[in-house]
Structure 1
Amino acid sequence: MTSSSPPPLRLASLASSNSDILAALGATGWVVAADSHSDAPGLSAAIRVGPDLNIDLDAVALSRPDLVLASLSVPGMERVVDGLYERGLPTLVLDPVTVANTLDDIRLIGKTIGLEQRGKEVAAQLGADLARLRATYARPPRVLVEWWPRPIIAATRESWVTQLLSGLGAVNALATRPGRSSPLTLNEVRDAAPDLIVCSWCGAKKLRPEVIEARGLGVPVIAVAESGLGRPGPRLLEGARQIAAALEGLDLTQTRLCGAGTAASQIA
């Protein structure tokens, strides 16, 4: 008896974004090892091999994966990837910096594990759902996405956040600042002139937008779970929907914050 379904691979997923993609593809039942942060449904049978920056590489090897899905979206994971290669483990490394890269990764994972058509369908649906959230504003709202509060670290130009916000009709308030993320002083946040600040702290047990509000910037703050914004995968739609709703409620007739000696007209 023949079947059109591919034989299940033994997969190891070492980043939450990869696990979310596998869940959307219907393949979490194939995962034999996963990082400790992955919370996608269907991972109950997978052994946990530690947090993304401190993966127990020997435990990954002992799980005998046919393929390891690694990522460089978390700074510092280069060491993990090097360790996988040293152990001769078959590894697919994902490194998305845009939404388009993320859609490509969904298709790539689908194709690599024998679910090519499903990968195409998931990517197409995510792209269409994101496109429907686009709005038009008199001027594009400036949004700052904060990854950590002390020191303040926020998403900069080479982050999927930049294209995600552009797709909503907004702009990353730090789009001219190089890199994927950057530490900021409070004055630098002020100079970025955000209309909205998104609290999406990575690895935090609890988001506390009131900490950002207490800085006295007078900018609306919303909380978006890291799972909906910090993971380049299908769940970006969750964060995009929350930001889109917040943008609809903004009063963009108000003068934006300016740094010392900076005229509003210069940054409008």
Structure 2
Amino acid sequence: MRVISLCPSNTEIIEYLGLTHLLVGVDDFSDWPETIASLPKLGPDLSINMNLVEKLNPDMVLASLSVPGMEKNVNQLKERGIPHIILNPQSLSDIEHDLITTAEVLGYPERGMRAAERFRTRVAKVKQKGSNNHRTLKLYWEWWPRPVFTPGKLNWLTEISELAGAVNLFQDVEFASVQTDWEDVLRRQPDYICLVWVGVRRDKVQKSIIKKRPGFEKLKHLNDERILILEEELYCRPSPRLLDGLEKLIGLIQK
């Protein structure tokens, strides 16, 4: 089959299934695994060039709704009659399900079942590590600084936080994404600040930016070590690589 992926998390699911050799094109932001570097790039995930997609004559396109605005791509796929499936995982169980669904659609159902079992087993093992933390740490995840965007209850980072033996600072808000402000963050008194600015390289994110914010000194137990600059690709993409991020997070906060 000739397969196209329209977002990084889909590309990573394909790799986890061991089916990367089927890919004939990917979005501009797909950067893992390195073997896809030579594939045709079809534009940013929010604005895919559908003319290029059609030229590649795909048997199946893996679309996504994991980021607001991706509906545009899905609508164009429908209008042009391009065969596709839509993935929209919001939890680890959703990712497990998508491994099975994707493998079935691509004609490799057994790979999907094996991959799902491998994923499920790893989640269980990591959960055991996280349960060793007897403190309830509050994690503030920052997706974007101005205006402040952070994950709410209906996002995988709430689950990732819990598996690490902590809680998402905004788990009480019944949304996947929450727009708030720094004053609200201060009131909630996080134990750790986890910076995962979407689309920004880690070397461009500085702890000093946070420390200069008004009222930072009110977070009495926070210091440089509790401001974590994390890899966006390990926390902001709903793929099996979230478990890599989870294991790293456990190592950072369980000291």
TM-score (norm 1): 0.84
1:100 alignment partner, SS class: helix
Cross-structure match for 1:54: 47
Q: Provide the C-alpha distance between the structure 2 equivalents of 1:127 and 1:224, rounded to a whole number of angstroms.
A: 24
Q: Which AA in structure 1 matches 2:156? A: W
Cross-structure match for 2:140: 144
1:154 alignment partner, SS class: strand
2:54 alignment partner, SS class: helix
Are the equivalent residues in 2 in contact too, given 1:73–1:96 (CA < 8 A)?
yes
Are the equivalent residues in 2 in contact too, given 1:213–1:221 (CA < 8 A)?
no
Match of 2:11 among 5, 9, 19: 19
Moved more, 137-146 or 74-83: 137-146
Are the equivalent residues in 1 in contact too, given 2:133–2:254 (CA < 8 A)?
no
Cross-structure match for 1:171: 167
Residues matched between the structures, number: 241
Matched, 1:223 2:223: no
Cross-structure match for 1:208: 205
Counting only pairs closer than 5 Å after superposition, residues 179-190 of structure 1 correspond to structure 2 as 179-190=175-186
Runs of 4 or more consecutive aligned structure 1 residues displaced over 6 Å after TM superposition:
none
Please provide the CA RMSD for this pair: 1.6
Are the equivalent residues in 2 in contact too, given 1:209–1:222 (CA < 8 A)?
no
Q: Provide the C-alpha distance between the structure 1 equivalents of 2:37 and 2:247, rounded to a whole number of angstroms.
A: 29
Cross-structure match for 1:3: none
Among all aligned residue pairs of Structure 1 and Structure 2, give the percentage whose two residues are the same amino acid. 32
* Change beyond 3 A, Cα 1:12–1:127: same
By relative contact order (CA 8 Å, sep 6+), the higher-ranking structure is 2
The offset of 1:200, in angstroms, is 1.0
Cross-structure match for 2:27: 35
Are the equivalent residues in 1 in contact too, given 2:139–2:167 (CA < 8 A)?
yes
Q: Provide the C-alpha distance between the structure 2 equivalents of 1:57 and 1:125, rounded to a whole number of angstroms.
A: 34
1:110 alignment partner, SS class: helix
Cross-structure match for 2:247: 241
Q: Which AA in structure 1 matches 2:231? A: A
Cross-structure match for 2:94: 101
Matched, 1:128 2:121: yes
The offset of 1:100, in angstroms, is 0.8
Give ranges in structure 1 of 5+ residues lacking alignment: 1-8, 250-268
Q: Whose Rg is larger?
A: 1
